[in-house]
Structure 1
């Protein structure tokens, strides 16, 4: 259906100048009436407008990978490979965001970037290898943000807990280290002994967790 420029502009909620610019750029065409007035094909203009809108709001999948310390960079690379393979197999346009830091630490560059992209409605899917890759505690806050912004969450190993005891111990030790640095400054031998005792207890718990896991693997 051929219609005047004013009808098209009103239908799309744009100015007449916008329609003329699209025509000048070669995206749409017009025909002249015997009186010299432009007429546009409604379907052609609406099709271009919808394509343009879709490109402007195109969203991507985000694969988020994290390890607690630089010593675990090999694990970080494995996570990234798994995320990349999954997103590529789905045919998604994607980006991998990575962090090195404790799951108890909210102040991580990658995590901040992820939150910003979700808030800007630029994410359609969040992919994790494990739930605790996001945060040790508080993942539900990010998941609720995803729900509000229509972001699907995919957890590839939802029924498994990857080295939970080991990383939880590392996270707790990181906190103790920060507080111990402050307490040592007070030169309190009592406080120093207390911290040393807690660290020793945690390391013993870590050793027992490793033994239990190894025994469990042998029986499988």
Structure 2
């Protein structure tokens, strides 16, 4: 349940929904995420714009859509909230997380996830909680990369070419 002080603030501005999946073969998952976040926006009567991208990267440097969100859309003053599926959809990179949080705080933009958890980066506790989430997301990403390398190695040992089953 979103606190009334945030509901009022969100209603005064627009909402930007950001969707990202890491791999090309996850269009269904992206569609499911879109459905969940659109339902959240409609539930609260929020006016919203959707931006989405498919791509994996250690850094936001190579994520064109998110760079546009962070450096163009957020500073425009048109949005009071960024709605995301999960925190790790923004970044699994600790340096990028700091940049994201600083930018959102500077422009007074809240982050809301699918569970209606609100992050206000002018609030020290929200700032600290997202630091922990970013650290956990980074560790998870390291494990994913390790499993992918092991899978590719096992495939190579079986004579399977990368990208083919």
Q: How does 1:82-97 map to 2 (within 5 A)?
A: 82-97=36-51
Relative distance call for 1:166 and 1:140 in structure 2 (3 A) is closer
2: CA distance, partners of 1:70 / 1:131: 20
Aligned: 1:130 with 2:93:
no
Shift in Å, 1:105: 3.6
Between Structure 1 and Structure 2, how many residues are aligned? 121
TM-score by length of 1: 0.47
TM-score by length of 2: 0.61
2: CA distance, partners of 1:134 / 1:92: 21
Give the match's secondary structure for 1:132: helix
Q: What is residue 151 of structure 1 aligned with on the other side? A: 109
Give the conservation status (yes or no) of the 8 Å contact 1:103–1:136. no
User: What do residues 67-103 of structure 1 show as CA deviations (whole Å, max 9, x unaligned)?
Assistant: 1111111111111111111111111110111111114
Q: What is residue 76 of structure 2 aligned with on the other side? A: 120
Shift in Å, 1:65: 0.9
Pick 1 or 2: higher relative contact order, CA cutoff 8 A, min separation 6: 2
Q: What is residue 66 of structure 2 aligned with on the other side? A: 111
RMSD of equivalent CA atoms: 3.3
Shift in Å, 1:156: 2.6
Relative distance call for 1:70 and 1:90 in structure 2 (3 A) is same
Relative distance call for 1:88 and 1:128 in structure 2 (3 A) is same
1: CA distance, partners of 2:100 / 2:146: 20
Aligned: 1:81 with 2:35:
yes
Task: Identify unmatched segments of 5+ residues in structure 1.
Answer: 1-57, 174-198, 205-220
2: CA distance, partners of 1:69 / 1:154: 23
2: CA distance, partners of 1:171 / 1:122: 40
